[in-house]
């Protein structure tokens, strides 16, 4: 990582570069094998000699490995830049922060748009179905590659929170703490329904061609509509009212099907921008993995977690109707019934689900103090993870 130009932004980590880790063979939960597999990742800060200060940040549906800092010749910082850097929630003067693009993604990691070595063409729908556990198992390979035996914490919101829960259930001896944010043990019928409408909008696009659109026009209209649907669920009624109201862009002629209202223009802008950076097939695979996820594996979560020594901080937001607070409370209840040391906070925000990206001050305060507390076990006692 290049740490020059730290003055670009307040407490910025400066310029960063995306790296790649490739391993030859990977067995999926389905029993299929996939390989070679590449994961794109970035790191911020320095790993201490004990390798005890590593924090894994896991991203949501449309995220990538670029969580903080700036890429050369780009003006926009990483998607969680406000939280990662010197003195921030994830203090890079203290912690070694890792973020990787997920398996099945389209930002440097192996996914449906990657070349299938057996054919020399993109996988498209020949790419196998993946699960959240597969995504986490691939992340575990990366962490081992970096020489880290145990993570200080794994942190993520939304789909990232599902990955956090997968780490918590499947690898409790590989993490010291977990911070699931605005997430759920398993999707409700409503959450599945929203994802299915998005998938159907992509597959209804004439350019989708059963996933074989590479080399030709992409199903941009379908993917844009899927993203528009997503953005509606990410906001709240109040945040939309405050941001847009019923304002119109211009008078124009009435009853023409143009983006007259500001909110219409916003959704179209978001949809059109999204198709420039995301692959439609990845959207299908990732949302299906989210819908199929059940952290408890069909059991009661408290039974699965019983005996775990992992410390948990769960965060939700009052105006989040996509991942409502009751779902985080279910996680907290299961943790406490299992005897897991758990802290819970419901933040009073009007931003809806997007709050996990936007409520910087209060969210950062909670994370900063939680990490300080859990790291104390190593710094003072030298008894890391026991």
Active site (catalytic) residues: 158, 320, 353
43 Cβ contact list (under 8 Å, min separation 6) = 1, 19, 96, 97, 98, 99, 146
Say how far apart CA 243 and CA 232 lie, in whole Å.
13
276 Cβ contact list (under 8 Å, min separation 6) = none
Pairing of strands 19-23, 37-44: antiparallel
DSSP string, 149-218: SSBSEEEEETHHHHHHHHHHHH-GGGBSEEEEES--SB--HHHHHHHHHHHHHHHTSTTTGGG--TTS--
Read off φ and ψ for residue 317, nearest 5 degrees.
Answer: -135, 135
Any alpha helices (H) in the chain, and if so which ranges? Answer: 132-145, 159-170, 189-203, 220-234, 237-243, 262-274, 280-292, 301-305, 325-337, 355-358, 360-381
Exposed (0-12), middle (13-18) or buried (19+): which is 86, by Cβ within 10 Å? middle
Say how far apart CA 45 and CA 67 lie, in whole Å.
13
Is 102 within 8 Å of 96 (Cβ atoms)?
no
314 Cβ contact list (under 8 Å, min separation 6) = 179, 180, 181, 328, 331, 332, 335, 342, 343, 344, 345
* Closest alpha carbon to 174 in 56, 254, 278: 56
């Amino acid at each position: 990582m290049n740490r020059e130009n730290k003055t670009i932004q307040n407490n910025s980590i400066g310029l960063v570069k995306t790296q790649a880790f490739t391993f030859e063979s990977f067995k999926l939960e389905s029993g299929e094998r996939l390989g070679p597999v590449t994961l794109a990742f970035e790191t911020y800060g320095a790993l201490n000699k004990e390798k005890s200060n590593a924090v894994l940040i896991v991203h949501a549906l449309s995220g990538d490995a670029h969580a903080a800092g700036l890429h050369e010749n780009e003006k926009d910082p990483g998607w969680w830049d406000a939280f990662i850097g010197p003195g921030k929630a994830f203090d890079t003067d203290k912690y070694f922060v890792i973020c990787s693009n997920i398996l099945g993604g389209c930002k440097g990691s192996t996914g449906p748009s990657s070349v299938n070595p057996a054919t020399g063409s993109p996988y498209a729908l020949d790419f196998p179905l993946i699960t959240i556990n597969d995504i986490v198992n691939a992340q575990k390979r990366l962490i081992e590659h970096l020489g880290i035996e145990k993570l200080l914490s794994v942190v993520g919101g939304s789909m990232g929170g599902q990955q956090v829960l997968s780490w918590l259930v499947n690898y409790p001896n590989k993490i010291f703490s977990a911070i699931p944010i605005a997430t759920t043990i398993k999707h409700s019928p409503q959450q599945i329904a929203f994802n299915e409408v998005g998938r159907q909008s992509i597959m209804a696009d004439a350019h989708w061609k059963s996933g074989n659109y590479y080399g030709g026009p992409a199903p941009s209209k379908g993917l844009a509509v899927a993203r528009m649907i997503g953005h509606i669920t990410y906001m709240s009624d109040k945040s939309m009212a405050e941001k847009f109201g019923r304002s119109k862009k211009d008078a124009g002629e009435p009853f023409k099907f143009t983006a007259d209202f500001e909110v219409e223009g916003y959704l179209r802008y978001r949809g059109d921008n999204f198709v420039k950076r995301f692959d439609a097939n990845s959207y299908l695979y990732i949302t299906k993995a989210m819908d199929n996820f059940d952290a408890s594996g069909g059991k009661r979560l408290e039974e699965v977690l019983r005996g775990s020594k992992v410390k948990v901080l769960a965060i939700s937001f009052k105006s989040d109707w996509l991942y409502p607070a009751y779902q985080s409370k279910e996680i907290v209840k299961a943790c406490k019934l299992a005897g897991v040391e758990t802290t819970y906070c419901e933040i009073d925000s009007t931003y809806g689900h997007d709050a996990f990206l936007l409520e910087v001050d209060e969210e950062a305060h909670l994370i900063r103090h939680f990490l300080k507390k859990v790291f104390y076990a190593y710094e003072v006692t030298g008894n890391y993870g026991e």
